[in-house]
Structure 1
Amino acid sequence: MNIIKEYYEKKYSKLCVLADTEKCKTTLMRNNDTGQLVVKKVMNKAAFSVYEQLKLIENKNLVKIFDCYMDDDKCIEIEDFINGRRLDDYITNQKLNYNQCIQLTVDICIALEELHKVGIVHRDIQPKNILISNEGTLKLIDFDISRKQHAGQAKDTELLGTAGYAAPEQYGFSQTSDKSDIYSIGIVLKEMCQKSNVSADEKLKDIINKCTQMDPDNRFQNVKQLKDTLLQCRHLEEENNAHISDSANGANKNQIMDRAEKLPPITFRYVVKTIPGFRSGNFLYAMFAILMYGTIIFAFGRTPFNKEYVNVSMYNKVVASALYVTSFIIPYMYLTNIADIARRFPKKTFKNRWLGYVYQIFAGGIWLLVIITLILLILR
């Protein structure tokens, strides 16, 4: 028996078959040691080279690939199980607004940027291959027909893709490229707007039209260019909303809150999964993160217990220790955006972005000054 295959058969227990098609068999598995749910996929050996590269990529909008190996002429791949809904179901059950359609499309671009950097074309961007996790994070999945671009090749050797979403070149006219994925993004964005009854303005219509040009050369040059254009479009929409005459109509707090981007509720699991070191789900990274954070917290928290504060009461030492740790945790949470905390605070807008940076530094400095002052008063 294949040693690697034997190792994984002992490591995971089969729960149920999720799908079994001619091209791929997908099974839900459980890690016997940790209880973690994973997905096992059995595919054609041609997928091995793509998944070998994918397992090296860390990106919040790509499903995490844990490992892959060959078993005879089959590629076996193990990936994270995403608890959530497919984009088509998500749109049906939760009508999106203008900015949500744009943000989801931006997230698709962020995922594809990583793939395109290493020369991988997804070739099957469609709502069924896009999941929205229970924490609200978009995840791109299913790389079964993804391929590496080959310089000098006139066209693909296999005609694959989903009708209605696949670019014209996927039907044998030329070799697929990152611009083929851009075509599919345009179709997905158009579908999101239509199903959510979002009225696309001229700017958004132009973006969709440019994505779906028949000639790849007339589309966006890369997904970064598309992403940047989408972000500009979202910014314009936010500015327009900000200038609606709320004050004249006596807009209340609830109306203003309705405009804000809806973020997932803060739960313990959600917070843990957004902490650097725990985001990938890699056990070794998590152990290293625990060791590192424990060392830092110990270093900050033990300061009030030094010999120089021998005359300070134990109660004051404990309070000062908590403040020391807080002075590290709060800025770190904001800078690394744990639980999307940076997006939860009310934003103060400036015409000049550098003024915004100065404001953030000033506000952060005041926060630290207050904590330091409290520590000094407690320990004196």
Structure 2
Amino acid sequence: MSFYKTISVLNEDHEVYLVRHQNTQKIYVKKILTIYNKQVYEYLKEHPIAGTPRIIELCEEDDHLILIEEFINGTTLQEMIDQHICSVSDIRNYLIDLCSILHKLHSHVPPLIHRDIKPSNIILTEEDHVILLDFNAAKYSSASKEADTMLIGTKGYAAPEQYGFGSSTPQTDIYAVGILCKELCASVTPACHSFDAIIDKCTQMNPADRYASVLDLKSALESSDSPGLTAKADVKSFRSFLPPGFRTGKISHMFLAIIGYALSLWLIFAEAPSGYSLPHLIIRRTTLFLMLFSVIGTTFNYLGIQRFFPLCQSRKWPLRLFGILLADIALYTLFAIIGGLFEYLVFS
């Protein structure tokens, strides 16, 4: 382990560091674990699983395990949730890929249960590949059916059996995938209801009422892409149709929105050029309305319009903001040109 030199701290509380091998100059992640299952990490080192970081070295000292694993650059699902940049198709694809990784773990005899599936433990690479991290809580499913004696995992994502109501099984991970799906759907605008039935089945209190396997869950996710189903589900909520500022139902948002819309309407109707007929004035004000409100709609992603502009869905904030600005300018200019041409053709 002396060959690895620490170059930065990734997470001081959890003792996670970025290190460089002094001979090869390659970058790795070093973890010092106090809660772990050595057998799990030994298995992952000897049998690397696609979609998980490769274990390079491990060394047990006293009451902790020193782990050197592959460094994977990317964006966590937690960051994507915080930035509200997932689309419905993204959610489906990411969860399908996650199910494929879990299937490899659960196919081990006995099944290997991750037990800590959450957005911060899932990374998306620049190629949009899903990587499942942190096997600190992982354990082999026991045939003895003995209840878990302590919670190892994350509250909110841990299944009921992780609180001592039963033993961890593949259905434990399926429960967490359901909670993850719910979190991802909550970050989508407009409200996403495409996976409501899947979430409900994943998160049943009784493990026997959940999907029998991650392959069954994967099949359900794939089937949710049937024609027309997603579009209908995504607009299920009445709030999805409300203008920006009114969709959340928060008083502060609505108050600011009313002020913004009032100012926009004042700008539209304040212009009263002389010499214009009523039809001409109506067309001109309609054009101004479309120009201004297209910018509002794009900026606040009304009915998910940003999905039509690739840069608006970037995982990098600067690119995303630049994409929104370009989309605003494009739509503003488009309606200005259309309105101008219409005026010219009708009144010239």
**TM-score over 0.5 for the pair:** yes
Q: Give me the whole-angstrom Cα distance separating, in 2, the residues matched to 1:108 and 1:186.
A: 12
- The amino acid of 2:130's aligned partner reads L
2:2 to 5, 9, 12: 9
Which residue of the partner structure matches residue 67 of structure 1? 57
**Structure 2 residue 161 is matched with structure 1 residue 155:** no
**TM-score, normalized by length of structure 2?**
0.62
Contact 1:154 1:175 in 2 (8 A): yes
1:220 to 164, 186, 211: 211
Counting only pairs closer than 5 Å after superposition, residues 229-378 of structure 1 correspond to structure 2 as 229-236=220-227, 258=308
Displacement after TM superposition at 1:240 (Å): 7.1
Displacement after TM superposition at 1:75 (Å): 1.5
- The amino acid of 1:155's aligned partner reads A
Q: Which runs of 4+ in 1 moved over 4 A?
A: 237-241, 257-260
Contact 1:47 1:75 in 2 (8 A): no
Displacement after TM superposition at 1:199 (Å): 3.9
- The amino acid of 2:139's aligned partner reads R
Label 1:27 to 1:234 Cα distance change in 2 as closer, same or farther (>3 A). same
Q: Give me the whole-angstrom Cα distance separating, in 2, the residues matched to 1:259 and 1:60.
A: 32
Displacement after TM superposition at 1:43 (Å): 1.3
Which residue of the partner structure matches residue 346 of structure 2? none
Which residue of the partner structure matches residue 121 of structure 2? 129
Contact 1:96 1:198 in 2 (8 A): no
**Structure 2 residue 184 is matched with structure 1 residue 192:** yes
Q: Give me the whole-angstrom Cα distance separating, in 2, the residues matched to 1:74 and 1:171.
A: 24
Q: Give me the whole-angstrom Cα distance separating, in 2, the residues matched to 1:67 and 1:224.
A: 31
Which residue of the partner structure matches residue 71 of structure 2? 81
Displacement after TM superposition at 1:69 (Å): 2.4
SS at match of 1:90: helix
Q: Give me the whole-angstrom Cα distance separating, in 1, the residues matched to 2:26 and 2:78.
A: 26
SS at match of 2:2: helix
Displacement after TM superposition at 1:41 (Å): 1.0
Which residue of the partner structure matches residue 269 of structure 2? none
Displacement after TM superposition at 1:67 (Å): 2.5
Q: Give me the whole-angstrom Cα distance separating, in 2, the residues matched to 1:9 and 1:238.
A: 56
Label 1:88 to 1:46 Cα distance change in 2 as closer, same or farther (>3 A). closer
Contact 2:85 2:313 in 1 (8 A): no
**Structure 2 residue 42 is matched with structure 1 residue 52:** yes
Q: How many residues align?
A: 238
Contact 1:45 1:70 in 2 (8 A): no
Displacement after TM superposition at 1:207 (Å): 0.6
Alignment deviations for residues 295-349 of structure 1 (CA, whole Å, 9 cap, x no partner)? xxxxxxxxxxxxxxxxxxxxxxxxxxxxxxxxxxxxxxxxxxxxxxxxxxxxxxx
Label 1:94 to 1:58 Cα distance change in 2 as closer, same or farther (>3 A). farther
Contact 1:166 1:180 in 2 (8 A): yes
Q: Give me the whole-angstrom Cα distance separating, in 1, the residues matched to 2:228 and 2:133.
A: 30
Alignment deviations for residues 60-93 of structure 1 (CA, whole Å, 9 cap, x no partner)? 4212222322223321211111112221112333
- The amino acid of 1:74's aligned partner reads H
Displacement after TM superposition at 1:56 (Å): 3.1
2:103 to 107, 113, 123: 113
SS at match of 1:33: coil
Contact 1:47 1:146 in 2 (8 A): yes
**Structure 2 residue 169 is matched with structure 1 residue 177:** yes
1:43 to 33, 39, 53: 33
**Structure 2 residue 195 is matched with structure 1 residue 204:** yes
Displacement after TM superposition at 1:57 (Å): 3.6
Displacement after TM superposition at 1:37 (Å): 1.1
Question: Structure 2 regions of 5+ residues with no counterpart?
Answer: 233-304, 315-348
Q: Give me the whole-angstrom Cα distance separating, in 2, the residues matched to 1:198 and 1:154.
A: 43
Q: Give me the whole-angstrom Cα distance separating, in 1, the residues matched to 2:101 and 2:78.
A: 18
Contact 1:98 1:198 in 2 (8 A): no
Displacement after TM superposition at 1:31 (Å): 1.8
SS at match of 1:9: coil
Contact 1:167 1:184 in 2 (8 A): yes
Which residue of the partner structure matches residue 332 of structure 2? none
- The amino acid of 1:142's aligned partner reads D
Question: Structure 1 regions of 5+ residues with no counterpart?
Answer: 1-7, 242-254, 265-380
